[in-house]
Amino acid sequence: MKQLIVNADDFGISEGVNRGIVEAHRQGILTSTTLMANMPAFEQAIALSSENPDLGVGIHLNLTAGVPLLPTSEVSTLVSEDGRFLRMGVALRQLTLGRLDLQQVEAELGAQVEKSLAAGIVPTHLDSHHHLHTHPALQPTAISLALRHGIGGVRSTIELGLADGVGQAGMLLRGTREGERETVRGRYLKGIVLSLLGRMLQAKARRAGLATPSHFRGILLGMAFGPTALHRALRSLPEGATELMCHPGYPDDALKRETSYSSGRDSELRALTDPVSREILNERDIHLVRYSDLTR
């Protein structure tokens, strides 16, 4: 059996994104989303989740966008001088060098989970902004948070095998225009690295009794994918459970203040609501599910 979780990241980052996520769920193939507890449209996201009970809602653990929930004095290694979280590249470097206080990390991420629980969310799973939870230093924290709060699933970013990734990249590069080749190389390198980390996390999560899909899609799709790219991905899904990551939404000023990925989210929304996308699922006998279906 082929099962597919279609998960939208960034629920709560802006009202335009919230609106796009709900539209992709009601009119398209989206089954799941993950909530950012420290973002300005969090309260609206909570209200929308209660209006859409079939939409699975997990938690998008966040250390790289906006401001922390805890006072900056309690998370001093996680923030820059302006009190905002470190940028992705800086946070990754500091984490790898052991300069982020892991007790501060666990306290802040725990606060994000607890705020979501207090708002009435029953989280289906955990993932993270910029996939930071797949870093070896944070994998134990993600698993510990899930177990402590009764959250049954965690994202594993297994999109490529090493040999497959190198082979696919080579074939794609031969058919790619010169100006686009660096983007393709970067996407495949990211996919290979995250797949290796995802395999590590998947093994740990399953030993801990957490549900995690066998496969992942979304890195190679890239940002602002359209119907053609999505249809190609749907037609090539493997057997078993797959999570497809996406970022639908309507770009607005609030989104532009929080992330560099603003324009293009409406293209993903069009792909997810394209009637052909659902037709492909029916033709290929692909069953739409949520993380909670895997835990059951």
At residue 162, the pLDDT reads 52
Residue spans per domain, the chain:
2-156+211-295
Domain at 2-156+211-295, CATH from 3.20.20.370, 3.40.50.880, 3.40.1360.10, 1.10.1200.10:
3.20.20.370
* Residue whose structure tokens are 């739409």: 288
Helix 265-273 to helix 275-283 angle, to the nearest 10 degrees? 50
Give the start-end residues of each E strand in the chain.
2-11, 32-35, 56-61, 126-128, 215-217, 240-246, 286-288
In tens, the pLDDT along 48-67 reads: 999 999 999 999 999 999 99
Q: How many CB atoms lie within 10 A of CB 207?
A: 9
CA–CA distance, 89 with 201 (Å, rounded to integer): 21
Q: What is the arithmetic mean of pLDDT over 273-288?
A: 98
At residue 185, the pLDDT reads 76
In tens, the pLDDT along 217-270 reads: 999 998 999 999 999 999 999 999 999 999 999 999 999 999 999 999 999 999
Q: What is the arithmetic mean of pLDDT over 80-101?
A: 96
DSSP string, 143-171: HHHHHHTT--BB-------HHHHHHHHHH
pLDDT classification of 188: cutoffs 50, 70, 90: confident
